[in-house]
Amino acid sequence: TSQPPPPMKCQRMLMLPPPKCQGSWVLVLGLDGSGKSTFLRVLSGKPPLEGHIPTWGFNSVRLPTKDFEVDLLEIGGSQNLRFYWKEFVNEVDVLVFMVDSADRLRLPWARQELHKLLDKDPDLPVVVVANKQVRAMGGNFSHMPGKGREHYRRIWVCAWRT
């Protein structure tokens, strides 16, 4: 007897997946303190926690929709956890890269980390989330890590307030 074909992997896009697709994987990364865990909590309908609690490892959230599920995986942003980032970037459909836009001193560092990931997979769709806009000066996104790398074709920049 022949084996059934393996399940179809979701296409890489932010639109609805193909009808036969069961779900999509979204990887949520960013430097420590950028707001990744709060982002996941709010998306899942939970209130943000008070204070900064660093992620020591991984967090995940499953967001069911009418037709499919989206699984979001956060990997902590501390230096000792960034090693794992590159192990997961080729296994997901979309990368959400969180940036603390109020922390201008670490923006070049965030840009460098994002570009390392994009060098591994230049076609990966990326959403750069400029977090903490309430604390940041102005709404100019020209300094955000996703800008200035035109050979990466699928980068979107947006603002998020926590």
Angstrom distances, CA of residue 126 to CA of 6, 112, 118, 135, 150:
26, 15, 9, 24, 13
Tell me if the pTM is above 0.85.
no
Query: Where is the binding site for Mg(2+), in residues?
Result: 37, 55
Distance CA 18, CA 109 (A): 36
C-beta separation of 126 from 94 below 8 A: yes
Q: Could you tell me which residues are annotated as the binding site?
A: 30-37, 55, 77
pLDDT tens digits, residue range 56-92? 889 999 988 788 888 999 999 999 999 899 999 989 9
Instruction: Tell me the C-alpha distance between 37 and 68, whole Å.
Output: 23
The predicted model gives 14-25 an average pLDDT of: 57
Choice between 45 and 135, residue whose per-residue pLDDT is larger: 45
The answer to whether 55 and 9 are in contact (CB under 8 A) is no
91/160: higher pLDDT: 91
Contact 131, 51 (CB under 8 A): no
pLDDT in tens, 49-60: 877 778 888 999
How confident is the model over 123-131, as a mean pLDDT? 89
Domains of the chain: 23-160 (3.40.50.300)
36 within 8 A of 55, measured Cβ to Cβ: yes
pLDDT above 90 covers a percentage of the chain that reads 34
Give the per-residue pLDDT at 48: 81
Q: Which residues are annotated as a binding site for GTP?
A: 30-37, 77
- What's the pLDDT band for 115 if we cut at 50, 70, 90? very high
